[in-house]
Amino acid sequence: MITVLGNDITERQKKVLYCIVQEYINTRTPVSSKRVLESAAIERSGATIRNDMNRLMRTGYIFQPHTSAGRVPTDKGLRFYVNELKKIREEIKSKSSQVEVAAKFPIGDMEKVLTGAAKLLSSSTKGMVIIEKPSPLTLRIKRIVVTPVSKNFSIANIITSLGLSSSIPIQHTELDDVEKIEQMLNKAMTGLTLNEFKSKLRDILTRINNFNNLNSFKDSDFGTISRGFLEITERLSVESYEDYITEGLPNLLANDRINLKKLQNILVYVSSDVFYKELFELENDIYIGKEHGLKFLEDFSVILGQFYSEDNPVGRVAVIFDKYGRYDLIMDSFEFMLNRLSEYFTIVSRNV
C-alpha cells in the first residue's frame, strides 16, 4: 500500500512542491524560489516562497544539493507529485465523454506482437519494459504434442486457447509408444488450464485407469505407458512457465547520474532470474525509488499493470524508468498499451 502524503504541509506549500517537481523533471536543474514564482500561479513574495521551501525541506519533500543551488525533489516529493497526478487523471476521466477508438490488430505471430508492444512502450517511456507472456497455467489447453528426441527425452508442446505454445523438455524412462501417451495427455488435459489440471491431477490419474481405450493396450504395455504418462504429467504440472519479453535495457544504462560500478551491478541484476521474480512479486501500482525494493534500482521508478483476454488476466507489463521521468506521459503510454494488449488478446481468443 502506497502512503498518502501531504497532511503535513499547507495547500500553498503543496502548489510550491508540485511546481518544484514538475520543473525539475522538465529541466533536470535544481529549482530556485525565483523559478517557482515565474512558473506557478502563486501571488506571494520571494521570502514567503523561500520559507515554504524551507518547510518542504524539513518535512523531507525536497533537498538542497549545494549551498548555492536550488531544490531537488526527494522520493517523498516525487510520491506526492505522482499521487496528485493520479488524482487529476481520475478526475479528468470521470468528466470525460470521449470514447477511445479500439486499435485494429491483425491476428498473427503473438511473439512479434508482444515484442513490438515492448519496443514501442520502451521508446515512448524511455525505460526498460518487461512483458510477462501469457502462461498455459491460466489458458485453456487445446492440444499437447509430444515429440520424442530419444528413448529417454521428449519435447512436450502445449498449445493454448490463445494460439500460444510452450515447449517443455522432459526426461523420462525409456518409452516405446509416445503416441499413446500423447493421446492420454490430450484426453486428460484438453479444455483445462494447467492450474485446473494440477488441482485435479489425482482424480485424473484415477480416471485414466478407466479409459475404455486402455482395454486395447497389452497388459505388458500398460505399466510402461502409465509410468510414462505419470512422469510427463508430473513434469508439466511443476513447470513454472515463466517467460518474458524485455526491451530497453540501454535506456537504464544511459542514465548519466549513475556511476560505472552501479551500472555494472544493475546489468548483472536485471539479467538474473531473481530480478524477474522480485519484480513480478510487486502489486500493480507505481513505485518510486526505494519503494519497490529492487536492488541497485533506487534511482528508478517502476510501474506495473495487467492485460486481459475478455475479463481474464493473461499477463502483466512492467516499466522501469528514471525516477525523474515524465510521469504524465509515461502513465498515458502505459495505460494505452495495456488497453491495446487487452483488446488484442480478446480478439484473438474469439478467433482462434
**Is 44 in a helix, a strand, or coil?**
coil
Q: Which pLDDT score is estimated for 220?
A: 46
pLDDT computed for residue 217 by the predictor = 47
Mean pLDDT by 10 residues, the chain (352 residues): 71 94 94 90 86 96 88 96 91 62 56 91 96 82 86 82 76 76 83 76 60 48 59 68 88 89 93 95 97 95 95 93 96 95 86 68
Over residues 34-68, the pLDDT tens digits come to 999 988 878 888 899 999 999 999 999 999 998 77
Domains of the chain with bracketed CATH = 11-95 (1.10.10.10), 110-135+244-351 (3.30.450.40), 141-238 (3.30.390.60)
Contact indicator for 325, 349 with CB cutoff of 8 Å = no
Burial 294-322 (b: 16+ CB within 10 A, else e): bebbbbbbbbbbebbbeeeebbbbbbbbb
From 239, 252, 215, 243, select the one nearest 129 (Cα to Cα).
252
- 213 DSSP assignment: G
CA distance 224 to 144: 20
Q: Is 1 helix (H, G, I), strand (E, B) or coil?
A: coil
- Please list, in sequence order, all residues whose beta carbon lies within 8 angstroms of the beta carbon of residue 173, skipping any fewer than 6 positions away: 152, 224, 227, 228, 231
pLDDT of residue 1: 47
The cell for 26 is: 522538465
Q: Residue 94 and residue 126: Cα distance in Å, rounded?
A: 29
Amino acid 194: pLDDT: 74
Question: What pLDDT is stored for residue 101 in this prediction?
Answer: 47
Q: What is the pLDDT of residue 211?
A: 54
How many whole angstroms separate alpha carbon 136 and alpha carbon 118?
A: 21
